[in-house]
Structure 1
Amino acid sequence: MNALNNSTAIPAGASKFDASQLVPNAVLGMPDLIAVMRASKPTIYAWVSAQLLTPPVKFGAKSSAWPASEVNAILAARIAGKTDDEIRSLVIELTEARKRLV
C-alpha cells in the first residue's frame, strides 16, 4: 500500500501541524522556547518582565516551562502585527486564564 493512501496521512487541505493538537497541555522548556521564539534566554526573560510573554509555570524548585498554547497565541498575535500594548493585554488575559483552569 502506498503511504500517501494510508488513513493516517494528513489529508490535502488540512491545516498546518500544531504541537498543541497532539498534546493539548504541552509545555515548552527553556531550550524549546529559545528555538520556537528564536530568542536568547536573556531576551525571553526581558519579554516576561515587559509583559510581552507569559511567565513560566513552576513545576518545582528547579523546573518551569511555558504552556505551548500561550506561546502559540503570542506568536500568532506577533505575526498578525499586533502592537506591544495589544500583546501585553493578551499576556494579561492568558495569565488570568490560568487561574480558571482545572
Structure 2
Amino acid sequence: MTRFPDNTTSISDFALPPKPYILDREPEVLGQTAWGSTTHHEKIKNGLFPPGLHIGPRAKAWPRHETQAIIAAIIAGKSDDQIRTLVRYLVDQRKKLALMGVIA
C-alpha cells in the first residue's frame, strides 16, 4: 500500500472512486474547491491538481472523486509534495481503469 511520506495516511484512503463515476466540468470543480480559474490552472501546472479529461474537442471534465480526494488532502493539512504524490496516484489509477476497460 502506498503511503504519504509522513506514513500516516494511505493515499488510497483519499482516492477511492465511487461508482457510478461522475464527471464535473470546470465551473463545478471551481465551486467545490472555492478557487478561481487562474488558481485552478496554476495548481494543474504545478502538479497539485490532476489534469482534466478530454470529453470533447474543446471540453474537459474532472472525475468528482479526484476533486474530493484533493480537497480531503488539503483539509488534512497535507504538504504540496504529498498532494503531488496523490495527484500522480490518481492519474495512474485512470490508466489502470483504462487498461481494465472500465473507462475509455
Q: TM-score, normalised by structure 2?
A: 0.74
Pick from 52, 67, 70 the counterpart of residue 56 of structure 1: 52
**Deviation for aligned residue 1:24:** 2.8
Q: CA RMSD in A?
A: 1.4
Match of 1:86 in 2: 82
**Unmatched segments (≥5 aa) in structure 1:** 1-19
Structure of larger gyration radius: 1
The count of aligned residue pairs is 82
**Unmatched segments (≥5 aa) in structure 2:** 1-16
Give SS of 1:31's match: helix
Q: Which runs of 4+ in 1 moved over 3 A?
A: none
Pick from 41, 60, 67 the counterpart of residue 63 of structure 2: 67
Match of 1:77 in 2: 73
Q: TM-score, normalised by structure 1?
A: 0.76
Q: Percent identity?
A: 35
**Deviation for aligned residue 1:42:** 1.0
**Deviation for aligned residue 1:92:** 0.4
